[in-house]
Structures are given as C-alpha cells and as structure tokens.
Chains A and B, each alone.
Chain A
Amino acid sequence: MGMDCSSDRFSDNSAAAVNDPKLSKPLNEMAKIMPFIRDESLGQLSDSAAAVDVSANIRAHTLAHLDFYLEQFERNVIAGGGVVHWAEDAAGANEIVLQICREKQARLVTKSKSMVTEETELAAALENAGIRAVETDLGEYIVQLRKEKPSHILAPALHVSLDEVTDAFLEHHKIERDGPPETADELLAEARQILRSDFINADVGITGANFLIAESGGMVLVTNEGNADLTACIPDTQIVVTGIEKVVPTFEDAGQLLRLLARSAIGQRLSNYTSLYHGPKQGGEFHVVLVDNGRSSMLGTDYQDMLRCIRCSACLNHCPVYSAVGGHAYGSVYSGPMGAVYTPAFAGLAVAKDLPNASTFCGRCADVCPVKIPIPKLLRYWRRDEFSRHLTAKPYRFGLRCWAWLNRYPVLYRKGLSMLTRWLSRRAVNGWLKRLPGVAGGWSDSKDLFVSEDKTFQQQYRERQSKP
C-alpha cells in the first residue's frame, strides 16, 4: 500500500517531544488560540449545529454512493476537456504524474500543498526523475528546504521558529541582501521573491483539491496565500492529485462544506482564496489523478466514517495529545486524532498500533468535527482490532484478561481488591506512594499516588452491615 511510517516509534518520540521547549511554545500557542477563534467564528453562524448536521449528511451520503459520484465526476471532467487517471496506490499515483511530466519534458514543477502528494511522496519521486519540484505554500516550502515533513496538515511548519526559517533561507537562497531576513514580513517577502520565478517558469503545476464537484467535473481549492492559484493557472499543464473521497455531489454541497471549513480550521469565514477550476486552460491540459491508496479498503467497514474528513485540522488543534507532542511524533503524514484513525488503515495496524492508544478519549475531537466523525469510537475500533489480532502489548493483554476473569468471581474479586488495597497502604508513606511496580510504574514515573485507607469500600461496608 505504501505510506512512509515511523509510528512504531511514537512512544519514544512523544516522550522526547514533550520535553522540547522549542516545540511546546508554538503548540501551547496553538492550543490557546485556535479553540477561541474557532468558537467565535462558528458562533457567527445562526445555524452552526444544523450546518454541521447538513455537512455530515453530505459527506455520509457521498460515501454511501461513492462509485456513482466518482463516475459522474469523471464523465464531467472528460466532457470539459480534462483527463481522469485512477491510481490504486502511492507508486501508481506517482507514476501517472511522472508520465505526464515526461511527456511535457518538464524540468520544473510547482506544487501547492497537497497532503495526498505527501502520502505518495511525489516530490521525492519527481526529484529522483531529475525534475525539480518546488513547494509553494510558505509553510510547506520551509519544510521542504529543511528536508522535513509537515507537522500539521494545515500549518506544515508549525514546529519551526522564525530563527530557523531565517537559517534555512540564508542557507538556500543565494541572493544579495542588505541583512538577514528576520521578521515574518521580511521572510515572507524573500520567499515571495524567490518563488516568483519558479511560478513563472514552471512546466507543470500540481495541486491538491479540497472538493471535487461531481455535477460539473470541477474542483475547489482553498488557500490563504494564493500560491495554489499561481501553481494551477500559470503552467500549461495542470495536474490535480487528490483522494477519491474528496468528491461531493453538487456546487451547493461544496458551498455548505465551505461554510464550515475555514471556520473550523482557522476561525475564518472563508479563506483568502477559494477558487473553482474546470477543465484545461486554452491550449493546455487538465489532469485529475484520483488516488485510492487504502481509502477503498475503509469503505463498508467500521472505519468508513473517517472518509468524511475534509482536512480542517480542528481535531488536531483541540487535541490534548497533539498539543503536547506535535505532529512529527506520530510518525505519519497524518497526525493528531484524524491521523490516528487514518494511519493504521494506510500503513497497517502493526506499525501504527500505538496511535489509536495515544488518546485520552476526552472526546473533544468529535465535538469540534464539522462533519461529526466519531473519532474516539473509531479509535476504539482499532484497539478492538489490536486486541483480537494479539497486537496489544503483552502485559496489558494479560492484565485485561485477568481482570475480566477476576470479575466473574465476586468473592475472589473482593478478596483480590482487599489484598491490593492493603498492600498499597502498607507501602505508602503518609498515604503517598512514590513507586509502583510493573505497568503501574508508568504512573509513578511522573506522579504520586494517594492511598487513604487500608480496607476497600466493600470490605468496610460488609463489616458495618454485619454489625448489629
């Protein structure tokens, strides 16, 4: 299937991430500001709850008839002079794009941010074929210069400080300047200057898509920088690489979802640029590469609801775990709650089994999801699959089996708990335990445990009842 994944190192990576003050600074700011501006902008809608219901229904309906809408979309793209390609996996998607680029004898490709091309690692595939691929979203551009991956699906360079951007620009931009660019405005101006010639000279422009519109064969692009439009409009050849789940039936449906997308994402009513594309420019070509890469395997399963996702990132912005560890610790293109559901489907449960467990099940992600994806429920399904496939870590599996077994025998259960309570209370000093054995050591690594009594409730209650 193929998606580069180091999620099996989540445990170590997350532990390191929480102790990195450079990372916690932007994450804390995000966690403080994003919920506030999201709430405020959604509050401007008089019908926000209804809008969420409608949006969830649009997405659920589309997925229930995905084949129908994809075929309708394909017919309409063709009727409008475009070409539709179907890619089963990452390698297939990259090959299709490379083929088009070879035919155009492309030397330079501009890209606007597309998480699907991150999934397929298209930029690397292009570079390997000798084609220079330039990311044009500022955050993605910074990440590309630093040879990193995005740490947030919307704000790829969330983890990068201004100083580090300056360093990256000084290293990579060979230009004359008065002094090093330091402020955000100076950095932006320099990136704009550098990217301008790439925009103009690109042979092929590759974008993602926020929505595909079945009834017209069109696609909607949402950005704040306008870079996607320069990528899409200037070169003669435009390639759209996106997931098969991005289709919606009608313009009106796309409009409904747009009411919530930018509000949920960054507290904006609409993003600065919301553009609609249909067919090739005069004398040019318009290709749409529809990527499956594991998506169809989720259809008809417990995980289908995840495909409703419109990549707003509200679940990341509101997640206590994401806000503590950042995106890279997840070891996957998709991080946070949505990534914890997607990654096991895309990269396999064996490698990604930590991610569904890396949730406190606080449920805030489901609360803020504009298409009502029941994320904790889907994570619980992954935990169920882990347990039934014996992927759950042995001490936990053993403990859970013992616990269920003990619960069958009330007398034994009460005795067991009584022994535990007595044992804990005897080891406590002034009621406090500082060290615990076995898996409970995870608790005492960072917390004390207060044990107030040496007999369980049931023990004491029964003693009181038996007294006359």
Chain B
Amino acid sequence: MKDAKQGSAGRAGLFVTCLVDTLRPKVGFAAVELLESAGYEVVVPSQGCCGQLNYNNGDTRGAAEMALKAARDFAEVDYVVVPSGSCAATIVKHYPEMFPSGSAEHAEVLSLANKTYELTVFLHEIAASAPVEVTPQEDSDSAGGSTLAYHDGCSGLRELGIFHQPRALLESLPGVAVAEGMNPETCCGFGGTFCVRYPEVSANIADKKCAEVIATEADCLVSGDLGCLLNIEGRLNRRGEPVKALHVAEVLAAKKGGSR
C-alpha cells in the first residue's frame, strides 16, 4: 500500500462523504490507496458532512455552518479530494454562494473550493501531471477482465463537467471496457431526499436506469457517486435482478493492485 515516493506530490486531504463513511467504507480506503500510489501524502482530518443535504433542503444556515467547518477542517492541505461528484460540486460550486463575496467566510470557502477536486478529475488531471510516475501493478482479483456500465451522476456531469475523466481512467486499465448504452443525460432518480419523499416516482425513474444497465449486459455497474450507485443497485436487487455495483475508486484501486 505504501509507495516509496509517497508524499512527494503534496498533501491531499480526503473528504470522506457521509455516505462513503457509513455505507461503503471500502470506497474511502480505495481512494486513499489511489492517492498514495499517485505519490500524495493522504490525510483524513476530523470532518463532517459537506452540507449538501441541508443546502438542497432549504436549511441554508445549517449548510453554511457545515461549509465553514469543512473549510477549517481542510485548511492545512494542498488538495481536497472527494469520491463523489455531487459533494465535490457542493464545495466547488455552492459553498462560495453561501456567503457574501468580500466577507472573510467567503474567502475561506473560496480557498477550499479552489483546491477541491472530485476523485477521478483529480487522478486524471492533477495527479497525472504530477512529477511522480504511477505504475499500475499486476492485475489483481475483483472487477475481473470486465465490461463496465458507467453511470454519470448528474451533479458531477453538469456542475463539474465530469464525463471523460472516469472513462479515461477505467479504459486505461488492462482488460476493462466501458459499455455503450448508458444514457449519460438521464437521472437515476436518487436526488437526495427526493428518493424518500417520492418513493414511487423515484422507483419509476430508477427502473428506466435499471433497464439500461441490464441491456448493456455489463459485468458490473460503476459510478463515481455512491448515492446513485446505492439507488440503482438497491432497485435492481429489489426487482430480483442483482448486478454487481462498485464505486469507480474500488475498480481503479483493485486494478492497480495492492492489498486492502
């Protein structure tokens, strides 16, 4: 897991996200591994939720409080890396609109926003240009020689323009192909509290996405957003059509090798 050149590329703070923290800790460790093997010193400061939940549900004051806390939690790192497009978009796009420009708080969250990246964007655009060479190790187990159905989270796609980065990373892995047939423009019906407020509507939207996944005949469903992933895999399982579902970090880390 440790790389000889670890830390030489800078300090990267991992923003764990509340969903990864509670429901898929593996994703966090996969992210740590990817960042370390790219030559970064990874730190996981004491942290909370990004506040997207509160912000999108109208609690702007609660969200602003969480934004400031995040800015302070991550004040000491060079980069903040988030294994989620929607949490990264909250930090990058929405934190700065929570405070009047010119205020000290605005400056704090802006400085956080300016060094925050979604994981695949960071690996593809920042880590790739870092002076440390990443050498993929021998093929290990999971994800196999496989075809992946990639689901683009809407926030990452539309707010941060994440599209080619995860595909480029995945397709650079030996034996991995990203399947055609997933419509990147259509939502999976997760939508944060939307899916619990309007379960029938959410399920109806998810069913359309499930049909796309099944039609690809892919070995595995992959997404950069855990919310979407839980939503689609949860619906597939309920329908009795389970499909293996992995976060993009898990696939990348498994293929790059190393123990976990």
Contact B199 A457 (CB under 8 A): no
Q: Given A358-B194, A456-B21, A457-B20, do A446 and B66 touch, yes or no (CB 8 Å)?
A: no
Contact A421 B230 (CB under 8 A): no
For B, the interface residue count at a CB cutoff of 8 angstroms equals 67
Counting chain B CB atoms within 10 Å of each CB, the highest count among A18, A320, A456 belongs to A320
A324 to B206, CA, bound (A): 10
A37 to B181, CA, bound (A): 19
Q: Does A189 contact B (CB under 8 A)?
A: no
> Which stretch from B4-12, B24-32, B118-126, B139-147 is at the chain A interface?
B24-32
Contact A404 B59 (CB under 8 A): yes
**Which residues on the A side are within 8 Å of B29 (C-beta)?**
457, 460-461
* Cross-chain contact of A360 among B23, B61, B205, B234 (Cβ < 8 A): B205
Contact B234 A363 (CB under 8 A): no
Contact A442 B16 (CB under 8 A): no
Contact B199 A413 (CB under 8 A): no
Q: Does A357 contact B (CB under 8 A)?
A: yes
* Cross-chain contact of B195 among A11, A14, A413, A442 (Cβ < 8 A): A442
Contact A380 B56 (CB under 8 A): yes
Q: Does B259 contact A (CB under 8 A)?
A: no
> Which stretch from A55-63, A204-212, A230-238, A386-394 is at the chain B interface?
A386-394
> Which stretch from B42-50, B74-82, B103-111, B172-180 is at the chain A interface?
B42-50
A14 to B202, CA, bound (A): 10
Q: Does A252 contact B (CB under 8 A)?
A: no
A363 to B156, CA, bound (A): 11
Q: Does B65 contact A (CB under 8 A)?
A: yes
A442 to B195, CA, bound (A): 7
Q: Does A188 contact B (CB under 8 A)?
A: no
Closest residue to A368 on the B side, CB-wise? B185
**Which residues on the B side are within 8 Å of A273 (C-beta)?**
none
Contact A11 B198 (CB under 8 A): yes
Q: Does B135 contact A (CB under 8 A)?
A: no
Contact B54 A404 (CB under 8 A): yes
Contact A446 B198 (CB under 8 A): no
Q: Does B233 contact A (CB under 8 A)?
A: yes
Interface residue SS majority, chain A? helix
Interface string of B213-237 (1 = CB under 8 A from A): 0000000000000000011011101
CB distance from B72 to the nearest CB of A (A): 11
Contact B196 A439 (CB under 8 A): yes
**Which residues on the A side are within 8 Å of B203 (C-beta)?**
18, 445-447
Closest residue to A433 on the B side, CB-wise? B234
Contact B57 A392 (CB under 8 A): yes
Q: Does A105 contact B (CB under 8 A)?
A: no
A455 to B20, CA, bound (A): 11
Contact A453 B65 (CB under 8 A): no
Q: Does A383 contact B (CB under 8 A)?
A: yes
Q: Given A14-B201, A15-B200, do A384 and B58 touch, yes or no (CB 8 Å)?
A: yes
Q: Does B165 contact A (CB under 8 A)?
A: no
Interface string of A1-41 (1 = CB under 8 A from B): 00000000001001100110000100000000001000000
CB distance from A47 to the nearest CB of B (A): 21
> Which stretch from A154-162, A218-226, A254-262, A395-403 is at the chain B interface?
A395-403
Q: Does A448 contact B (CB under 8 A)?
A: yes
**Which residues on the B side are within 8 Å of A461 (C-beta)?**
28-29, 32, 44
Closest residue to A387 on the B side, CB-wise? B58
A151 to B32, CA, bound (A): 50
Contact B191 A362 (CB under 8 A): yes
**Which residues on the B side are within 8 Å of A388 (C-beta)?**
58
Q: Given A15-B198, A384-B60, do A362 and B22 touch, yes or no (CB 8 Å)?
A: no
For A, the interface residue count at a CB cutoff of 8 angstroms equals 68
* Cross-chain contact of B194 among A357, A420, A457 (Cβ < 8 A): A357
Q: Does A443 contact B (CB under 8 A)?
A: yes
**Which residues on the A side are within 8 Å of B201 (C-beta)?**
14-15, 18, 321, 324-325, 358
A23 to B219, CA, bound (A): 33
Contact B234 A383 (CB under 8 A): no
Interface string of B84-103 (1 = CB under 8 A from A): 00000000000000000000
Contact A447 B65 (CB under 8 A): no
CB distance from B225 to the nearest CB of A (A): 12
CB distance from A31 to the nearest CB of B (A): 8
Contact A458 B21 (CB under 8 A): yes
Closest residue to A453 on the B side, CB-wise? B25
Q: Given A14-B198, A447-B235, do A324 and B21 touch, yes or no (CB 8 Å)?
A: no
Closest residue to B191 on the A side, CB-wise? A360
Contact A400 B59 (CB under 8 A): yes
Contact B24 A18 (CB under 8 A): no
Closest residue to B59 on the A side, CB-wise? A400
Q: Given A19-B200, A358-B201, A447-B235, do A457 and B54 touch, yes or no (CB 8 Å)?
A: no
Contact A407 B69 (CB under 8 A): yes
Interface string of A93-122 (1 = CB under 8 A from B): 000000000000000000000000000000
A289 to B22, CA, bound (A): 58
A325 to B58, CA, bound (A): 24
* Cross-chain contact of B196 among A360, A367, A442, A450 (Cβ < 8 A): A442
The residues of B with any CB-CB pair to A shorter than 8 Å are: 16, 18, 20-29, 32, 44, 46-49, 51, 53-63, 65-66, 69, 154-155, 158-159, 185-187, 189-206, 208, 230-231, 233-235, 237-238, 245
The residues of A with any CB-CB pair to B shorter than 8 Å are: 11, 14-15, 18-19, 24, 35, 318, 320-321, 324-325, 357-364, 366-367, 380, 382-388, 392-393, 396, 400-401, 403-404, 406-408, 410, 413-414, 417, 420-421, 424, 432, 439-443, 445-453, 455-458, 460-461
